[in-house]
Amino acid sequence: MLMDTILFYLFAALVLGGGILTITRRNAVHSAIFLILSLLGVAGLYLLQSAEFLFAVQIVLYVGGIMVLFLFVIMLVNLDQAAKEKQFNRQWTVALACAGLVGAEIFYFLAKGAGAFQLAKGTAEANTGMGNTERLADALFSQYLLPFEIASLLLLVAVVGSVVMAKKRI
Amino acid sequence: MYASLVPTSAEMIRFLPELILTVVATLFMVLDPLLGRQSRHVYGHFSILALLGAMAAAVYVYRDPGAAFSGMLMVDGFATFFRVVVIGVGILTVLPSYRYLDREDAETGEYHALLLFSIVGQCVMVTANELIMIFIGLEISSIASYVLAGYLRDDRRANEAALKYFLLGSFATAFFLYGVALIYGMTGSTNLATVRRAILGGSLGSAPIFIGVAAALMFVGLGFKVSGAPFQIWAPDVYQGAPTPVAAFLSAGPKAAAFAIFLRIFLTAFQPIGPGWEPLVWVSALASMTLGNFAALTQSNIKRLLAYSSIAHAGYVLVALAARSNVGTAAAMFYMAAYAFMNIGAFAVVSHLSGKGERYLKVEDFAGLGAKQPGTAALLSIFLLSLIGVPLTGGFFGKFYIFKAALDSHLVWLTVLGLLNSAVAAYYYLRILVMMYMREPGEAASRIQPLTPGLRAALVLPALGTLVLGIFPGWVLDFAGRSSVFVR
């Protein structure tokens, strides 16, 4: 139990520290690397919640796939100009107000405890002995088979659309 | 156990219209590199064949209605009606696109593939009985529409339209998805019937407030998709910048599908909290009608004028939603069908008149059309009279049934204000009629090209539809009335 708590704070610090460093670094590549750190922290939090599948997906997709794409784009786009720009723009007061509002909301619900936000029983179902990954697979390939398959059509449309918008002339 | 993983053949058949369209659209992309430029009309022909096949399939599968894929889809009369409407919109969009794509020298393969994908998304939306399915269908339809709006990449207006549509559309989808997440958290289900039972069961503790928040968030998302006020800002810019056949499509297809899910979600899952959301819809309906009609009065660009008119028409359908009754649902269904015909027809005339690069888009450019091309002018007159709501056209009975449903639900003020609004609307439609018949031909009318077979079909078919709905509304209305009862 104590170990869990220590690990939780460790991962949470990783998430927050990585996040702050991501938005404060001037060099875009450094920002991307700190974002990886932050995403790794989130993966650790998933593991603590015994959501092994989400942990694996987080590492493979976000840390692996999406971040590599980020880095490719950063290297393709010329960012020298952006590095010289001011880091704070005029909207920072509005952003601060929004962040403050969300923060107040979170502290309100933390103070009220679990009773403030009553979740349905189905979502917090007791562990039935089956592992997290097995239950997910069971849901995906039985009840949610059609949305799972149709989502691939959504990706196809997005790919075709981006090629149509980006290409010069076939 | 594993046998249960395979969907039964009855379930697969209920998904047949979407399957046909998906297969053909995917084939287009495979064929595109193989076929040369001289076969650019092939895609249009095959699109029409595929859409006719899908429409036949949609009607055929209604012989055996029911749920499919663990309650994800619900093939009922309501779904069948809207499937036929969105597929019909697809056919009426392909017909004027032949000429348009030739004139603007644009590629045809991806255009038709994206159009078919968008229609697949809309078919999924109107058939879905489950929030995740609705969301995925909405996204397929929307992403394909964003690209279609910016299909002419060298045109700055089209780029602006696509970007605005994409940014605001994504924003609206996020609102909708946030609502879905709250619903799942509160009720543990995304199935509309189960959500309704959970809300009725009262086992939600402190949750009713969150159900209300979820309904409001979904209202924002869907309000954007149907371009109802106060979420209508994007519509004039997008319709003006998008290629005219695409603008016609956007104003009829995605809108009909969005209204279908609007009706289905709010009259099944959120039906128990109806008195809560009725004022929201009331205000939005009135704001849409008033803003749309009064803004349209001052427009000089015909595409912007039609965009504002489409906002006003969204307001009329929202009146039917505010009625919260089966009669209201049936009236909304009838109106969407009538509106699809008359609006696509009007846009097809605009596409025909505007010339290469869409140069002639002013209301003044309609001057003398009646003398130069009497047939086109006569057909446009039918569409405009129907948009006004003159008897013997589909638009008249559409408005008539909507306001009747509103009166039945004691929405007297909304009815009175709506009727006043349709009187205001008559002014800007009549302005175009006056321009066509009472002015000397201008540059646009003198340079107008003869009608191609595709365009002729694109004008005559909607005109026939408008007149049939106006003279024999009974059959369609009967069907709508029978299918307006949702499975709860």
Q: Which of B101-110, B182-191, B266-275, B303-312 has the highest mean pLDDT?
A: B303-312
Q: pLDDT tens digits for A5-14?
A: 999 999 999 9
Residues of B in contact with A161 (CB under 8 A): 114, 143-144, 146-147
Q: Where are the domains of chain B?
A: 3-487
Reported ipTM: 0.90
The predicted pLDDT at position A125 comes to 54
Mean pLDDT of B131-142: 95
CA A43 to chain B, closest CA, distance in angstroms equals 21
Residue B206 has pLDDT above 60, yes or no: no
Query: What is the pLDDT at residue B448?
Result: 86
Interface test with A, best of B5, B16, B74, B147 (most A CBs within 10 A): B147
Interface test with A, best of B40, B187, B196 (most A CBs within 10 A): B187
Average pLDDT for B99-117: 91
- The pLDDT score that the predictor gives to residue B54 is 96
Using the predicted structure, report yes or no on whether residue B25 has a pLDDT greater than 90. yes
Taking CB atoms and an 8 Å cutoff, what residues of chain A touch B162?
Answer: 165
Q: Is residue A123 predicted with pLDDT exceeding 60?
A: no
- Ramachandran region, residue B191 (left: φ > 0; alpha: ψ -120 to 50; beta: rest): beta
* For residues B246-274, average pLDDT: 93
Mean pLDDT over A76-90 rounds to: 71
Helix or strand holding residue A156 (H, E)? helix A145-166
Closest partner CB to A121 (pick from B5, B22, B188): B188
pLDDT of residue B358: 84
Q: How much is the pLDDT for A77?
A: 75
How far away is chain A from the Cα of B272, in angstroms, using its nearest Cα? 18
A77 touches chain B (CB under 8 A): no
Optimal mutation site among A119, A148, A160, interface B, most CBs of chain B within 10 A: A160
Residue in chain B lying closest to A124 (CA): B188
Q: What pTM value is reported for the model?
A: 0.91
Q: Is A142 on the interface with B (CB under 8 A)?
A: yes
Q: Is the pLDDT of residue B317 over 60?
A: yes
Q: Say if residues B295 and B308 touch (Cβ distance below 8 Å).
A: yes
**Which residues of B are less than 8 Å from A141 in CB distance?**
5
What residues in A contact B205, CB-CB < 8 Å? 118
Higher pLDDT, B203 or A89: A89
Q: Rounded distance, CA B252 to CA B343, Å? A: 7
Region B223-251: mean pLDDT is: 93
The separation between CA A145 and the C-alpha centre of its own chain, rounded to angstroms, equals 24
B100 has pLDDT over 80: yes
Per-residue model confidence (pLDDT) at position B198: 86
Query: Where do the domains of chain A lie?
Result: 1-79, 133-170
Q: Which of B72, B75, B138, B194 to mutate to test the interface with A (most CBs of A within 10 A)?
A: B72
Average pLDDT over residues B110-128: 95
A118 → closest Cβ in B33, B144, B206 = B206
**CA-based torsion, B460, B461, B463, B464: positive or negative:** positive
Contact B188 A165 (CB under 8 A): no
Query: Per-residue confidence at B209, pLDDT binned at 50, 70, 90?
Result: confident
Using the beta-carbon criterion (under 8 Å), do B70 and A142 form an inter-chain contact? yes
Residues of chain A with C-beta less than 8 angstroms from the C-beta of B114: 157, 160-161, 164
Which carries the bigger pLDDT value, residue B12 or residue B290?
A: B290
* pLDDT confidence band for B1 (50 / 70 / 90): very low
Q: What is the pLDDT of residue A120?
A: 63
Q: Does A160 touch chain B (CB under 8 A)?
A: yes
pLDDT surpasses 60 at B407: yes
Q: CA of B185, closest CA in chain A: separation in Å? A: 6
Chain B residues in contact with A142 (beta carbon < 8 A): 4-5, 70
SS3 of chain B: CHHHHCCCHHHHHHCHHHHHHHHHHHHHHHHCCCCCHHHCCHHHHHHHHHHHHHHHHHHHHCCCCEEECCCCEEECHHHHHHHHHHHHHHHHHHHHHHHHHHHHCCCCHHHHHHHHHHHHHHHHHHHECEHHHHHHHHHHHHHHHHHHHCCCCCCHHHHHHHHHHHHHHHHHHHHHHHHHHHHHHHHCCCEHHHHHHHHHHCCCCCCHHHHHHHHHHHHHHHHHHCCCCCCCCHHHHHHHHCCHHHHHHHHHHHHHHHHHHHHHHHHHHCHHHHHHHHHHHHHHHHHHHHHHHHHHHCCCEHHHHHHHHHHHHHHHHHHHHHCCCHHHHHHHHHHHHHHHHHHHHHHHHHHHHHCCCCCCCEHHHHCCHHHHCHHHHHHHHHHHHHHHCCCCCHHHHHHHHHHHHHHHCCCHHHHHHHHHHHHHHHHHHHHHHHHHHHCCCCHHHHCCCCCCHHHHHHHHHHHHHHHHHHHCCHHHHHHHHHHCCCCC
Mean pLDDT of B267-284: 91
Span A1-79 CATH architecture: Up-down Bundle (1.20)
Q: What is the pLDDT of residue B274?
A: 86
Instruction: State the nearest Cα–Cα gap between B339 and chain A, in angstroms.
Output: 28
**What is the pLDDT of chain B when averaged over all its residues?**
91
pLDDT exceeds 70 at position B183: yes
pLDDT digits 0-9 by tens, B36-55: 777 888 999 999 999 999 99
B137–chain A nearest CA distance, Å: 8
DSSP class of residue A66? I
pLDDT value at residue B244:
94
Does residue B205 carry a pLDDT above 80? no
